[in-house]
Structure formats: C-alpha cells, structure tokens
Structure 1
Amino acid sequence: MSATDDIVIDLQNPEYYINRELSHLQFNIRVLEQALDETHPLLERLFFLCIFSSNLDEFFEVRVAGLKQQLAFGRETAGADGLHAGQVLKEINNICTNTLERQYDILNDVIFPALAKENIRFLRRATWTDEQQVWVRDFFDNDVLPICSPIGLDPSHPFPRLVNKSLNFIVSLEGKDAFGRETGLALIPAPRSLSRIIRLPDELCEDGDNFVFLSSIIHQFADELFPGMTIKGCYQFRVTRNADLEIDHDDTVDLASALEDELHSRNFGEEMRLEVADNCPPELVEFLLTKFDLKQSDCYQVNGPVNLGRMMEVVGQIDRPDLRYPPFTPGLPKHLSFKKSIFEAIREKDTLLMHPFESFTPVVDMLREAAKDPSVLAIKQTLYRTGAKSEIVNALVDAARSGKEVTVVIELRARFDEEENLYLANRLQEAGAVVVYGVVGYKTHAKMMLIVRKEQGILRRYVHLGTGNYHAGNARMYTDYSFLTADDSIGEDVHKVFQQLTGMGKALRIKKLFHAPFTLHKKILELIDRERVNAEEGKPAYIRVKANGLTEIKVIRALYKASQAGVQIDLIIRGMCCLRPGIPGVSENIRVRSIVGRFLEHTRVYSFCNNGKDEFYAASADWMERNLLNRVETCFPIEGNKLRSRMKEEFECYLMDNSQAWDLDSDGHYIQAQPQKNEETGEIEIIRAQQILLEKLAAAN
C-alpha cells in the first residue's frame, strides 16, 4: 500500500470545481476563435464573430444580471468552486475586457481586410466618393431625418430610458437653440426600424458588395439634427439590460397574462453593461455611467460598431456561395423513403435520425400524415422553441380543425421565445386544440410527440422523442437525435408523462423512460455508481456522456468517485463544465472536450458499459441542476444492437476529432486539439467529426 492510499480526498474542496459562469464565458470565447479558423469559409467566419456578440449580449442579460441580483439582495452564497458573486463579476470584467479588444482586432485587422480582398467592403466616411456622398445625403434626408428624434438634455428633457441594446449617440454641443437653451448635451437614438448596415447601389461603387453603417451616416449628418449649433463630438453607445423575466408563481393566476405583462418591461430592465466608442471623452463616459447607475467596471470601450451582432444581417445580403458552406441534402433512411405510410415504417422498426446530417422531414411528415389520417384519434405534443412559421404548428392546427383530439403543452417561458410562443398558443386555441402551459415552477423542456391511431379495432401509440426542439430551422443547424417508435411500453410511458403535465395527481410509475424532476437525477447517480462498483470488482467499466452542460454537483462528485475507482470517463460537453479533469487521485480517468464547428452541438447522449452490455440513452436534459431538478425532461433508452452500435460509432467519431475539439485541462483551460501525422503515411491527418458524419449520413442514404 502506498502512502497516498491512506489520504482521504475531500470532494467538497473548491479547487476541484470550475465556476459555471466563467466556464460559460469560455465557451463563447471558443466560438470567437472560429473567426480566425481559415478552414471555415470567410462569411461563416464573420458569422461566428457576430454569434459571439449575440452570445455575449445574452450572457450579460441573464448571467451577469443574476450575479448582480445576488449582490443586491444579499444572496452572495459561494458555489462549489468557492467563488462569491462579487469575485466572479470581477473576473468576468477582466476576461471580457481582453476578449472584446481581441474581437475588434479580429474584425478590423483580419475579417475586414479579408472581405475587402473578396470585393466586400464596409466603407468609412473618409473613403466615400462625391457620388456616394450625394446618395448617402439623400438617404439621410429621406429615410433617417424624418423618423429620427434627437433629445436635448435639460430639466424639461431628462435622460430617457433607452431600449435594451439599442444604438444611440451622445452628442456634445456648443451654442444656443431656438429657445435660448444652452445645455451642451443631447442624445440621438438611432431609429430601430432602420437596418444598421445599408448597401450602396452597385452603380456607385467598384465591383462587389459595398456597405455603409447607419452609425456612419448619423455621424456624418448629425449637425443637421441641431440647426444653428456646433457639434463638438458625437459618440455611439448602447446599454445592455437585465432581460430575464421574473414571474411570481405563487401569486400568478394566469401564466399567459402574467408573461405578457412582463414582456413589455423586458426592454427596460436594470442596466448591466455600457458599450461606448473608444474615442468617447472620459467626462462623457462618466456622465453615461452616472445616468445608468453603473460602475467603471461595467463599461466597455470598443474600436468599432457597438452592436456587432447586427452585422449578421449582412451575411444574407451577399450572394457569394463560394464564401459560404456548400449546401447539402440531409439523408433519409431507405425504410422511410419507400413506405406509403410513415406509421407502417415505424411499426416495422425503431428509427434513429441524427440531425442535421439526416432529415427532420420524417418528424414533420409523421404529424402531417396524422392530421389527415382518419384512423388517428388523438395527438399530444410538447413545444418549447418551434418558430413563428412552423410546419409542426400548421399540422397541429389542421389536425384540430379536422376534429382530432389535439393537446399541446407549450412552454411559454422558453427564454427569448416567450412572445412567439404566446402567439402560437393563441393560434392553436383558436383552431380548437387544448393548450396547457405545463407545470407552474417547472419548465417543460421534454421533446415528445404522441399519436394515437386506431388499427383493426385496437389503439396503437406512435411516439417521437428528441434531444432537440420541434424547429425545422434548428434541425438544419443543430446536431440532435430524433427517435421514432411504436414500442408499447414507451408509448404508455409517454402517455403517462402527458397525463402528469395536463392533469393532476401523484407521479405515475413508468417502465422505460426516466423523467425529471422525478426519476432522472436519481437514475443517473445509480448508473454512475454501478460503473464504480463494477470497476472496483475488476469488471469492465466506462461512462460516456455528450451534453451541453455539466454543472450538477452530486453528479460531478459521483463521476469523481467513479474515476477514483478506475472507471474510464469521456465527457463531450459543449458549454459549461464545472468538473476539473486530470486531477491526480480525483479525476485522472476523466477526459473532457468541447466540439465547436459548423453546426451547434446539441445532442444529449448517455452511455454506460454495464459490464460489457452497453447501455445507451438519449435525452432532452443536460446534466445541470435546472434540467435534473427543476424541469420536466425525458430520457429514453436506445435499444437494439444496430441502433446502439450506430450511436457508439458516432460518439467515437467525436472522440477522434483533432481539429474542432477543445480539450479541458485540470487548470480550467481549453486547448484546441491539433492534427497529427499518420504514422504509416507521414501525412497530417485531419479528423472533423461533423464533416465525417455529414459525408456518411447525408450521402449514404
């Protein structure tokens, strides 16, 4: 026995955990790094840079807002990592200051020059030709000036409450206005109805695509808004607000009405962050910070447009397929291609689809056929994020209008999709569907569809279960699994889960599914512990998990114990991960990696050795507190040797990725994997999991 065998390791030691908010921020930085990856087409690199901005906006709107509320209400309890909210906010400021400087360096020094070489230009005011000046002046006179409302700041014009993330300008003035006032300061809110990037007519430019920023136009002609006065300076800024809706479930009688009331206030929540041009004088920055009740640490001065996320719109305006990913046709399994009825195909065998490599169409077709099929009696469906122009919703509306029993559980509180979901709920109700909003206090995040069909006098259930949302657009951009089955036990289980969501009563016993908040957390801990026991008994043992987040402390400690027993653990965690791998005596048998590529990794897959009898599960739930303890989630087994073998191969493909994978070390840093030489050929071998799956699944079917 070695000396270390007698050491008792305290798994509550904060050094063994990574702060969840800082881990989340690291994921956003990995997204930003894609803007420098020349294996991505150029316009996709611009898109990644914009996605980083959009992600960072939400980070401040939700994550930073939550930390600040902890401070404000005296709930500054340290997490498992030992950090208090104030410490985390300080570290966030340090990271964001450096990362935003890097983002604008990438934009100005890398992306813009590369676009210019492809004749895609964002023209600065100093480069406008005389003809362009005339056109821009006309645009300002005809499109901007009539709807622009400058605000002089004085006792009768107090500082307004500006809309969340809106583009604004602070202007320093000299002189007196028509009423003899001499205030010195004014604001120009940029009209929200106007695009932030304007395309110049081709006849006024060199070959290619030429754009000007709305901010440049307002800068150029700001003096027209203050006749008779002299503009000493004009500087763009925007403020980010708390956008996380708060509903008091104890006092809420009608969730939809309460949510509608809250949506009106989202644009005017408490201020979280100020972004301002880096040439703005210190006294004006201080003035804005005072008006927004923010500290200097809440201010980020940037060298370029303050609303980079809005540059996303320009990608769709440029017709350069050579600078985008090539289009592809998702695959379709043969047994779904040649059957007259999708119900016949599902009865024949269970079907597993991996999106976006395989088509989402069978899921939509299943619902469309059910809407028209006179043998279908009832349809039950959950909707979380679906889309305003959803074919899924169209089919549900058709089914309800044709007299079928249609029940839809809509999660109104799907963050930033609340308004759209309210609209969908009203539309479905008008069609005659029964619409419920899940369970108060628990978001319904499960992805389930249940179709009841009468066949030869007997009722048969057909089920779709998924790891992703019923959103056809997302199914082209996110990796997710869809599972189609007519298994009697699973059908009965899904029926019981719907009963719990729409009715009232005790938790019902179900056979094959695990579901949160009742059995899933407990079952995960049991499965992990089973692998630990098997390893201690000398039996084969492994755990493999693919998810978007790993933050639940009991699960992490169970993984640590399994690692200590010798269980080999591979975790592919896209975003937040609070577990530290590679710590001697604690987690040296755990490997953590994150895949960031063309598609957003979104699948949730759990795999356990089970003494050589591999078990595979797919789920709607990540291994996070909110999913396992505070949401309605489903986890379903993938049975049958072919399907299990397929899922194992696809998982191993991600483990082999050496180009778009980032490996987490014990210090909490992510290091991008590097292609290595093939020992036989001596050539660099590049392995991209997403590309391999695209070639295999989209082309082979």
Structure 2
Amino acid sequence: MPARQRGMSPPRPSARIARMKHRTTTPDLTAPELYLNRELAALEFHGRVLAMARDPAVPLLERLRYLAITAGNLDEYFEVRVAMLKHHHAFGSAAPGPDGIPSGELLTRIRARVLELVNDLYALWQRELRPQLAAQGIRFLTREQWSPRQRRWLRGYFEHEVLPVLSPLGLDPAHPFPRILNKTLNVVVVLKGRDAFGHEGHTALVRAPRSLPRIVRIPAMVDGGGDDFVFLGELLQAFADAMFPGFKVGGAYPFRVTRNSELMIEEAEVENLARALSEELIGRGYARPVRLEVAADCPQAIVRMLADNFGLEDADVYRCDGPVNILRVGQVYEQLDRPELKFPRFVPRQPPALVNGRDLFETIARHDVLLHHPYESFAAVVELLRQASVDPEVLAIKQTLYRAGEDSPLVEPLIAAARAGKDVTVVVELRARFDEEANIRLATRLQEAGVQVVYGVVGYKTHAKMMLIVRREGATLRRYAHLSTGNYHSINSRTYTDIGLMTAQPQITEDLHKVFQQLSGLGQVIRLERLLHSPFTLYPGVLARIEREAEHARAGRPARIIAKLNALDEPHVVQALYRASQAGVEIDLIVRGACILRPGLPGVSERIRVRSIVGRFLEHSRVYFFLNDGASEIFCSSADWMERNLKRRIEVAFPILDPALAGRVFDETLANSLADNTQAWLLGSDGRYVRATPGEAPPYSAQQALLDRLCG
C-alpha cells in the first residue's frame, strides 16, 4: 500500500502540537488539541474544490463549473451549518465540539476563512477565467463592453421580456421593505428627482422574478459568435431608468440574502409528516437571514440599510467583486457544446455479467454482481427493476428512495409493478435536505398509483440505499437484493463514484427483509447476520472492528485499517483510531470532506494518514476495510463515520462476500485512491492540506485510471 507521497513533508505543526513530542505520560485522547473543527474542515474542502477551478490542467469550461460548484457549496454551508451555529449561539446552546472552540470564536474564524475563499473565487473569475474564456470566444460582457448593436438588442430584450414582469418598489413609510426570498437576485436603486407628490430623494428595490433567466445569451447575429452572455443583474443595473421614468438613476446595486434553510419539525408531535413538511416548506424561503452578499461598489449607507432590514451585523456582509449570484455561470456549461473545453466524454461500461439482454434474476442467482459507478452503467439497476415489474413470478418489491430525482427512471417500473398487482412498498425519505418538496410530490405520485408509501421512522432519516425483490421460483420464494453506497439517482450515478451490489445470498436478503419489516411495521430491535445496521449495530460494529485490529497489533500480528468516507466527525471513532494507531495499526483514511482527526501526532496518530481526492467525479462511495489477521472484511455503506450516520439515521453496511468482488472493491476504491499522486490532498497535523505531487514517480490519477480500465 503506498505510504505518504515521496518528497512530501507535512506542514510545520503548531507549537501546541509540537509540545506533544516531549510528553512522557499517556496522552488524554479527549484533549481538544487532538481534534480539528468540523465546520472549518468543511471550508477546507470547499477550498479544494476551488483549487480545481484554479488548475490549468483542467479543461476551461470544467474550471468554470468548479467555480459555480464552490459558490453553491458556500450557499449550502451558510444555509445549514452557519445558520444552525448562529441559532444555537444566539440562544446560548452552542456547546463546543471536541475541538473546544467556543461558538463566538468559531463564527469569527469561519468569517475569516470565508472571506479568503470569496476573495480567491472572484479574483479567479476576474483575472483568469473571464479573460481565458473570452480568448475562446465565450464572453461574459459588462455594460462597458457592449457594442452599440448589442446595447440596442439588450434594451429591446429588457423592455419586451424583462420589464413586463418586474414590480419595482419605492421604499418609504407607505412602502416598507418587502420580504426577500432566499438566494434571489435583487437590486437597490438610488433615484434622484421629485416624484408626482413632491417627494425628493428615493430608494427603490427591484426583485428579479424567478421566471427570468439569470444569464442572457446574445444571438449570434448581434455582433457576436453566439457565445456572448450577460448577467441579468447587468441588465437591471443598465436599464434601471426604464423602470423609473422621470427619475435620474444615481446608482444600482445588486444584492442577495441567504437564509436558514434547516427545517425544524418535532416529528413526534405531528400527525402527518408529509403535511407538516409541506407547511414548513412554505416558509423556508423567508426564514432567518444569515448572510448578505452585496456588490463590491455598494455604498456603505446602502449596505447598512440592507443589513438593518435583515437584522444582520457587519460580520454577516460579504462584498462580491463580480456578480453576486456567480453560481449561475454553471448554466453556461450546459448551454455550450464545446467538447474541446470539457472533460472527454466516456461511455459507462455495461458489466459483462449483464450484457446481451440476459435474465438478471438468473445471473444474480448464480453469483453476485458488482457495479462501480460512474464507470459502470446505472442502467443495470433500472433494468433489474424493469424486469421485476413485468415478471409474473415477482410478488413484491421493496425500495428506499432518499434522493431519486423527479424524472427518475425507477419510478415508472415501480408504478407499473403496483398496477400489475404486485405488492410494492417504497420508503420515501421526506426529510432529504433540499429535496423535501420533490420527495413529497414523488410520494404522492406513487401513492396514487397504488404503491404503499411509508416515511421511515420518527426521528431517524432513512439514508440506506436498498432494494428487495421477492420472486416465486417453483415451490419456494427467493429474494434478490440491490444495495448501494449512493442514491437511486440516474444523474448522480454519472457524476458520483459509488458501489452497488446485486445479490441473492440468503443471509443478506433475509437481513434486508428484516430491515424493511422494521421500517414499515414499527418492529422491535432485530438481529442481523451479515448487515451492520444503524442506529443499532453499525456504530458498535465499527468500534469493535477497530479495537480488534488494535488487539492484533498488540499481539504482534499484522493489523491494517483503510476507510474511504465522505466525512469523519464522530469523536469516539476518532479516539478508537488513535488507540489503534498507538497499538501499532497502520491506518489510511480517504476522507473527501470534513475530517476532525489530526494525523501524524507523535504518540497518538503517527501511524494514521489522511488524504482527500477531488477530481472529475464526486468521490461518494464509503468502504471500510479491516485486515483481521488475514481473514479480512470489507464493507460498503451509505454511512460516513459521522455522529448523525452512526446514531441518528437508518443505515446499512453490507459486506462483499465474494472474494473476487472484494478484491475488486479493494483495488478500485482503496488501493487505487492511495496510489493517486495528482488529485490527492494530504492532511497535516495542523489541519492544512497539501496537494500530492508525483515526485520521481509517474503521475497517477485514480479516477482516470478507472476510466481507462473500465471504460476504455
């Protein structure tokens, strides 16, 4: 297994960490200095995504897409993480995490890091991406850059397509500040002159309706090649005079407010979760503000007026040297057919075991089938469900849906199966953040078709991804299962890396049957043979296996742990890993996002290495490997080693029992990731990430290697 990249030295540790070298007593594994802060660690991940936008080796339009992703990530960070932290801080209920940072100090440190990210993002946009895109004939034009013909066309577009749907509002005691929807584009306009009633000196507000496109493409016939774009905010600023005839415009300044988007529902106190969520969603867009974004040139008096209206402090204001809604540049990526400026297209492989229109039940009955997305096609999962929906021997289908998408190809087979008289049960997780509204519509549609829809367990999100099919075969009933680390979402399956398993192994399918029974029937605690099950056996199962490796190491036997995760923030798991490292276990953690563990601490974690891979695809599969003195175990799961996944969600971790498939999972997800020396970032004990470099070794990208191997 590759160790730390040759030629890479970790960043200099802080003085507090350096003092640990001189300790002679056993360290206290709960000491705050042994932990990184989760919220700050999440921001470092957003910085690694922004680094992809900065990387000249990445195709230009892909860099633009990463810029938009970073802006969207920061939106969600404020909507959820900062919003909840501010909420608890305001009520004095913000208990410090294992790192011990008080909430007030943490908010200050978050602002400092976000300011760095925002400044870097807009500097990248203004100094690199816009000029380089313009050199490729893709221009984002400001008012000063419009030709006379373009200005005339844009004026006509504004008057015919934009102005009729606007409702400009003058601000005065008779026209109070309106409610502003979360993350919408708005413009404050300063007006000079007298109105019809003799009043002088006005401020007005223009809200851009959601029906208007945020980026306008100028037709090719108007002095351009068809790839000239203008932000809607530029139009609202440039033609503000048309909205306020008779006034002179003294200035127009776009702004955007971000609000708390975490839904607060006491599930035990509601009679109908779907109805309660629907009612809560109505007010989500107008919840408490947490951030104000304004144009860089917005006068301080206007900023103060806006902040006061939203109940925000100066520390909640962020000035943007460019469009306040810069995440909208991601729309241009989809509009442009410029393959030379994007990642090369690839065709996901159809797994050899499933080609030529085979009967999937016959194939799965003979042996397990492994799917590695996006390198292998998600169509196999859709085909399994389609075959189940039309097979007269299939009696029942059970499935969980967390984020499926409104146009999911799985919905029609489920509806067809129900209409064909099969017993179809779907567990729809209504509380999947930001997908609540879509999931309510999906649940309604399924129910209207005769599908039995349940919403899981009160107080616990159903995050497990699993499907169970019951089929009559002669005199017996046989179960077939699909389990996955990722959502049943066809679009995500092309951009997220995930592992799926199709199996008919009785112990796994019987376990899955029990889990579904518990979800739909309010059953008691169940005993499972093969699956680890949150919130019951997954958490203690992970801790026990970490301790087992430590025991092997203490006995002088080889001991090894490798885990690939999205995030690691459960302090007791971190402590168990620290103890295992102290015992002599070699540990590699591949953690895409936030990680609170400090690797490389003398006497604590010097045998632990942490890396993050950020590449073309979002690394999403969770895989746990335990050497176990040669009788190794490898589990795949939708669960990270986070407190919420291990204790407050319905999750399953499924073992890969077929030795050949277990070898594939190990090789393609773990060993492959550890060999990456181009897209991997190495975490130092001080919490800083340094990008790996090949040094004397040949460059190696884990994702490109799999594209070449599985899709080449």
Q: TM-score when scaled to structure 2?
A: 0.96
Q: Is the 8 A contact 2:218 2:226 kept in 1?
A: no
Partner Cα distance (1:37, 1:504) in 2? 51
Q: Is the 8 A contact 1:346 1:485 kept in 2?
A: yes
- Three-state SS of the structure 2 residue aligned to 1:172 is strand
Q: Is the 8 A contact 2:218 2:224 kept in 1?
A: no
Question: Counterpart in 2 of 1:673?
Answer: 692
Unpaired stretches in structure 1, ≥5 consecutive residues: 679-684
Q: CA deviation at 1:106?
A: 0.2
Q: Which runs of 4+ in 1 moved over 4 A?
A: 3-6
Partner Cα distance (1:127, 1:693) in 2? 44
Alignment of 1:410 with 2:424, yes or no, is: no
Alignment of 1:334 with 2:347, yes or no, is: no
Partner Cα distance (1:315, 1:5) in 2? 54
Q: CA deviation at 1:309?
A: 1.1
Question: Counterpart in 1 of 2:292?
Answer: 274
1:164-563 to 2 correspondences below 5 Å: 164-207=182-225, 209-338=227-356, 340-563=358-581
Partner Cα distance (2:145, 2:79) in 1? 36
- Three-state SS of the structure 1 residue aligned to 2:407 is coil
Which residue of 54, 57, 63 corresponds with 1:45?
63
- How many equivalent pairs are there? 691
Partner Cα distance (2:678, 2:486) in 1? 25
Unpaired stretches in structure 2, ≥5 consecutive residues: 1-20
1:533-574 CA-partner distances (Å, limit 9, x unpaired): 100000000000001010001100000000001100000000
Which residue of 663, 670, 673 corresponds with 1:654?
673
Alignment of 1:70 with 2:88, yes or no, is: yes
Partner Cα distance (1:167, 1:489) in 2? 54
1:34-113 to 2 correspondences below 5 Å: 34-113=52-131
AA aligned opposite 1:351: V
Which residue of 149, 159, 166 corresponds with 1:148?
166
1:417-469 CA-partner distances (Å, limit 9, x unpaired): 00110011011001101000000100000001000000012100000000000
Partner Cα distance (2:23, 2:437) in 1? 58
Q: Is the 8 A contact 1:464 1:484 kept in 2?
A: yes
- Three-state SS of the structure 1 residue aligned to 2:221 is helix
- Three-state SS of the structure 1 residue aligned to 2:502 is strand
1:614-625 to 2 correspondences below 5 Å: 614-625=632-643
AA aligned opposite 1:531: E
Question: Counterpart in 1 of 2:709?
Answer: 696
AA aligned opposite 1:305: P
Question: Counterpart in 1 of 2:7?
Answer: none
Q: CA deviation at 1:123?
A: 1.3
Q: TM-score when scaled to structure 1?
A: 0.97
Partner Cα distance (2:416, 2:577) in 1? 47
Partner Cα distance (2:23, 2:553) in 1? 17
Partner Cα distance (1:468, 1:425) in 2? 20
AA aligned opposite 2:237: H
Partner Cα distance (2:101, 2:250) in 1? 45
Q: CA deviation at 1:203?
A: 1.0
Partner Cα distance (1:225, 1:337) in 2? 61
1:562-617 CA-partner distances (Å, limit 9, x unpaired): 00011000000000101000000000000000000000000000000100122100
- Three-state SS of the structure 2 residue aligned to 1:203 is coil
The 3 A distance-change label for structure 1 pair 661 and 503 is same
- Three-state SS of the structure 2 residue aligned to 1:618 is strand
Q: Is the 8 A contact 2:554 2:584 kept in 1?
A: yes
Q: CA deviation at 1:213?
A: 1.4
1:391-430 CA-partner distances (Å, limit 9, x unpaired): 1111101111111000000000000000110011011001
Q: CA deviation at 1:505?
A: 2.7
- Three-state SS of the structure 2 residue aligned to 1:38 is coil
1:369-392 CA-partner distances (Å, limit 9, x unpaired): 000000000000000000101111
User: Per chain length, whose mean CA-contact separation is higher, i.e. which structure has more relative contact order (CA < 8 Å, sep 6+)?
Assistant: 2
Q: Is the 8 A contact 2:591 2:611 kept in 1?
A: yes
Partner Cα distance (1:666, 1:57) in 2? 28
Partner Cα distance (2:472, 2:643) in 1? 40
* Identity score, percent: 53
